[in-house]
């Protein structure tokens, strides 16, 4: 990862310069040629960002022009992240190892600088573990003037970005490496590194708890399921009752006997993105010692086919005693989540947030541009929506009208696990709601969890959707003033 250094007293003379220019400091030429100054003025006049590269002696000067003024971006912090990511990519194009940011403090405000560095940091990610030829980053060190950032912010940003990258790695890993037991093994390792507690329940314990949803989905697999419990409970926590995060951990989803067509089965290694988000969020808040009591729950299994796999028309019993008529074995995520949501009741939580790549219907609504949200607490949903706007992981609220309940009624059991061809994202949320008796929010991340084509600081593959969202939500809860341009 990039090493950010504050203080220019130890900057090598041969270090290349990245000169940041904006309307605020456009009058300063930084010893630039007149032709470049004219081009900068034209960009600022036209309000277009741009880059100019100069080769002087043994160094490179990359002039990066951020043409938007503060009034234009006060409600769009994403512009600053994208600008930081664009600058990083320009530096990488030139294969530069060390740079000094010139004009950084003059061009951007404190919050703008924070967002710029966030975008620059997030743009570094790459997943080339399985390639012979690694695509390594050239940029190693970025120097800045004293006062460029708030004390402690760079360390906190680095910890958050490391957690985001870990979540992306998990989502990008194939199931022949990352199955349920391996996920639990990695969770224990991360708990030791970052200082939270991980407890893993094996199949025998899962059977003792009568988690019929998790066990049914696992029936067709030779790999045993796990149920993972993560706990971050600092002594100075500001909340007595925990925030509980629940992540869907279906490590690979064939659809079971309701078999997915081959083109829809590709990338089903990503069906555990909710689990990755929950684990990474615990890593980030523990690393940065946020004083908030948080529990993470991850039911983990794959959904495969064998002679023993569960089938349509099976009736299973969730751990709270609810019977479910299985009408589609590809609607398996809600079954494993049902056991986790029922398990969460024992903690008497202040709020439960579940995250899952749950429905194609949600993805059809939001594409990769946002997250479908449902829940029973308007106050908590409004707070989470604010955080979504802050980090540009935007939330679209689903209707939860009582008429949707009728679609889940079964003639032979308490519930069906699907509600028909219409309103699929809502009926999935309605199914989950049945297992809650606390304030609850459901996030269907099927759209943004993985993307086919990267853009800005988002790379192809896993996106770690929800990690920065939840982290910001918790920061807001503790009243931490991170230098982010909140909406």
Catalytic residue annotation? 260, 334
Q: Under DSSP, is residue 284 helix (H, G, I), strand (E, B) or coil?
A: helix
Q: What are the tokens at 276? A: 């990755």
Question: What Å distances lie between residue 282 and 164, 180, 201, 314, 435, CA to CA?
Answer: 11, 18, 18, 36, 24
Q: Under DSSP, is residue 145 helix (H, G, I), strand (E, B) or coil?
A: coil
CA pair distance 266, 252, nearest whole angstrom? 10
Strand blocks (E) in 48-126: 50-56, 59-65, 98-102
For residues 318 and 339, the answer to whether their CB atoms sit within 8 Å is yes
DSSP letters for 245-278 = EEE-EEEEE--TTSPPPHHHHTTGGGGGHHHHHH
DSSP letters for 176-195 = TT--HHHHHHHHHHHHHHHT
Block residue for tokens 């600058």:
87
Burial of 12 (0-12, 13-18, 19+ CB in 10 A): exposed
């Amino acid at each position: 990862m990039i090493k950010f250094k504050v203080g220019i007293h130890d900057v090598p003379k041969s270090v290349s310069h990245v000169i940041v220019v904006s309307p605020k400091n456009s009058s300063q030429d930084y010893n630039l040629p007149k032709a470049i100054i004219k081009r900068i003025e034209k960009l600022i006049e036209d309000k277009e960002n741009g880059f100019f590269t100069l080769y002087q002696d043994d160094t490179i000067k990359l002039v990066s022009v951020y043409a938007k003024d503060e009034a234009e971006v006060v409600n769009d912090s994403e512009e600053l992240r994208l600008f930081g990511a664009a600058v990083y990519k320009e530096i990488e194009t030139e294969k530069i190892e060390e740079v000094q940011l010139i004009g950084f403090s003059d061009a951007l405000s404190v919050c703008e600088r924070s967002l710029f560095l966030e975008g620059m940091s997030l743009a570094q990610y790459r997943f080339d573990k399985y390639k012979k030829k690694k695509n390594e980053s050239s940029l190693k060190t970025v120097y800045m003037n004293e006062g460029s950032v708030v004390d402690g912010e760079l360390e906190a940003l680095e910890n958050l970005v490391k957690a985001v990258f870990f979540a992306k790695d998990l989502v990008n890993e194939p199931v022949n490496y990352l199955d349920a037991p391996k996920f639990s093994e990695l969770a224990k390792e991360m708990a030791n590194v970052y200082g939270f507690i991980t407890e893993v329940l094996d199949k025998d314990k899962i059977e003792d708890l009568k988690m019929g949803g998790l066990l049914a989905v696992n029936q067709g697999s030779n790999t045993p399921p796990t149920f993972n419990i993560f706990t971050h409970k600092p002594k100075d926590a500001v909340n007595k009752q925990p925030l509980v995060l629940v992540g869907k951990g279906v490590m690979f989803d064939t659809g079971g006997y309701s078999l997915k067509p081959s083109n829809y089965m590709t990338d089903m290694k990503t069906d555990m993105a909710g689990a990755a988000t929950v684990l990474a969020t615990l890593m980030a808040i523990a690393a940065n010692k946020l004083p908030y009591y948080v529990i993470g729950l991850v039911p983990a299994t794959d959904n495969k086919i064998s002679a023993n796999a569960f089938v349509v028309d099976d009736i299973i019993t969730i751990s709270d005693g609810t019977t479910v008529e299985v009408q589609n074995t590809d609607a398996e995520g809600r079954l494993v989540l049902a056991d986790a949501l029922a398990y969460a009741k024992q903690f008497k939580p202040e709020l439960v947030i579940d995250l899952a790549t749950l429905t194609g219907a949600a993805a059809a609504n939001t594409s990769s541009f946002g997250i479908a949200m449902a829940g029973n607490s308007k106050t908590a949903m409004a707070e989470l929506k604010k955080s979504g706007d802050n980090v540009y992981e935007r939330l679209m609220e689903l209707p939860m009208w009582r008429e949707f309940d009728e679609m889940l009624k079964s003639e032979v059991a308490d519930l069906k696990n699907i509600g028909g061809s219409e309103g699929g994202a809502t009926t999935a949320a309605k199914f989950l709601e049945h297992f809650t008796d606390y304030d609850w929010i459901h996030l269907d991340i099927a759209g943004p969890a993985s993307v086919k084509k990267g853009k800005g600081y988002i790379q192809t593959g896993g996106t770690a959707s929800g990690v920065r969202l939840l982290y910001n939500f918790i920061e807001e809860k503790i009243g931490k003033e991170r230098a982010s341009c909140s909406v």
